């Protein structure tokens, strides 16, 4: 860390030089220097008869106070890591002092920005998930409709098979009845006591006379023939 020799001229706001004016330079905080711990102390310098002031300071940031009777003025300056510097240049280069309120406001703005970013990410994620779920629901609905159609087709096929089974059973019963007999004699009942249907594709023959009981219905399908001899 370098000791910098600073020079400058003190003037008031009318441009009049300020001779024999005391200026105090204070560097806040403890700092290390050449292997030692330096405890800050106030460095004083007084302008000469021409208002010129010279002071040697370590590199760093300082608060300076001009002691003018009956008042004083303060300012900050940044001492560079250089052997010499001009006081006017260092005052212009001094960092802006940030108040506690400004720090709190900046932190609040940062927190608000982080919260807004987090909410935006969460909303985007939720929207994407909702869209995926919507697509999944649509696919499931479509699958259910296909399943319903297949079930309906299967039900229709079952009904058709049931009808065919009934037809086949009636035909078998009729064939069995016609085939039943005694040797070369084919027998048949001479009283029709129950409803009977001769299915399509079959012809029937009976030896009469045949008596049809009251309330009994005999149905001969279209294209079929029942002959009584």
Please give the chain's pLDDT, 229 residues, in tens: 679 999 999 998 888 999 999 999 998 876 666 566 666 789 999 999 999 999 999 988 999 999 886 778 899 999 999 999 999 999 866 555 555 676 788 888 999 999 999 899 888 889 888 999 988 888 888 888 888 888 888 888 888 888 888 888 877 776 666 666 556 777 788 999 999 999 999 998 899 999 999 999 999 999 999 999 9
DSSP-based three-state secondary structure for 41:
coil
Tokens found for residue 132: 């995926």
The domain containing residue 16 runs over which residues? 3-96
Domain assignment present for residue 53? The answer is yes
CATH code for position 28 = 2.60.40.1120
Last residue of a domain, one of 28, 62, 96: 96
Domain assignment present for residue 209? The answer is yes
For residues 226 and 204, the answer to whether their CB atoms sit within 8 Å is yes
Q: Burial code of 190-212, b = ≥16 C-beta within 10 A, e = fewer? A: eebeeebbbbeebebebeeeeee
Domain assignment present for residue 25? The answer is yes
Task: Quote the pTM value.
Answer: 0.39
Domain assignment present for residue 224? The answer is yes
Number of domains in the chain: 2
Instruction: Collect all residues with Cβ–Cβ distance below 8 Å to 39 and sequence separation of at least 6.
Output: 30
Domain assignment present for residue 23? The answer is yes
Domain assignment present for residue 67? The answer is yes
Closest CA to 174 of 138, 212, 149, 201: 201
DSSP 168-201: HHHHHHHHHHHH-EETTEEP--SEE-S-EEE-TT
Domain assignment present for residue 128? The answer is no
Domain assignment present for residue 85? The answer is yes
């Amino acid at each position: 860390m370098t000791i910098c020799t600073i020079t400058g001229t003190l003037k008031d706001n009318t441009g009049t030089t300020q001779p024999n004016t005391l200026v105090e330079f204070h560097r806040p905080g403890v700092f290390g220097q050449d292997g030692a711990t330096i405890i800050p102390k106030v460095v004083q310098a007084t302008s000469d008869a021409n208002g010129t002031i010279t002071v040697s300071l370590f590199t760093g940031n300082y608060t300076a106070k001009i002691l003018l009777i009956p008042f004083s003025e303060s300012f900050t300056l940044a001492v560079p890591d250089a052997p010499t510097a001009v006081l006017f240049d260092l005052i212009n280069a001094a960092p802006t002092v940030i108040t506690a309120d400004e720090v709190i406001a900046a932190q609040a703005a940062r927190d608000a920005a982080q919260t807004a970013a987090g909410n935006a990410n969460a909303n985007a994620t939720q929207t994407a998930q909702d869209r995926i779920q919507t697509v999944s629901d649509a696919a499931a609905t479509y699958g259910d409709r296909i399943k319903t159609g297949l079930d309906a087709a299967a039900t229709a096929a079952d009904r058709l098979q049931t009808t065919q089974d009934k037809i086949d059973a009636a035909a078998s019963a009729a064939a069995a009845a016609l085939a039943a007999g005694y040797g070369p004699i084919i027998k048949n009942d001479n009283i029709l006591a129950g409803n009977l249907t001769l299915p399509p594709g079959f012809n029937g023959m009976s030896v009469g006379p045949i008596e049809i009981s009251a309330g009994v219905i005999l149905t001969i399908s279209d294209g079929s023939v029942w002959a009584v001899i």
